[in-house]
Structure 1
Amino acid sequence: MLKKTDPLTLLLPMFILASEPVFAHPGHDHGHWSAGLIHLLWIAPVILATGFAIYRLGKNKHLKGQK
């Protein structure tokens, strides 16, 4: 049986792995004014999909408990 896990605990490794030094390479300018927006647009679908999956898993567990 799975134990209850805090959603922040699930998201924390993703934020650590998505840090700027991990993806930086020569010519990848994090100092440019648009760098933050570009990175946000790149990572937003991953964050949304993870949040939706956590929501659906929680909802399914709740519904199974009512039967």
Structure 2
Amino acid sequence: MSKVTSKGQVTIPKSIRDRLGIEAGDEVIFEETDDGYVLRKRVTENPFEKWRGAADTDATVTERMAELRGER
């Protein structure tokens, strides 16, 4: 059980944070339902995720840097 502070803050119990994967700095959403409210972790897409694998190569870092510099 949690109590609301004078600032409207509530501590989410650790067991619930662990189950929902909530960490410091994460945003949560309170969704109204017929039975009350549901707490959900706000999941945002990582802006870098779409680039994952874009630079996949078997080249070493040194070889890749030489290629990017236009060296052969």
Q: Which TM-score applies when normalising by structure 2? A: 0.26
Which is richer in strand?
Answer: 2
Q: Which TM-score applies when normalising by structure 1? A: 0.27
- Higher RCO (CA 8 Å, separation ≥ 6 residues): 1
Which is richer in helix?
Answer: 1
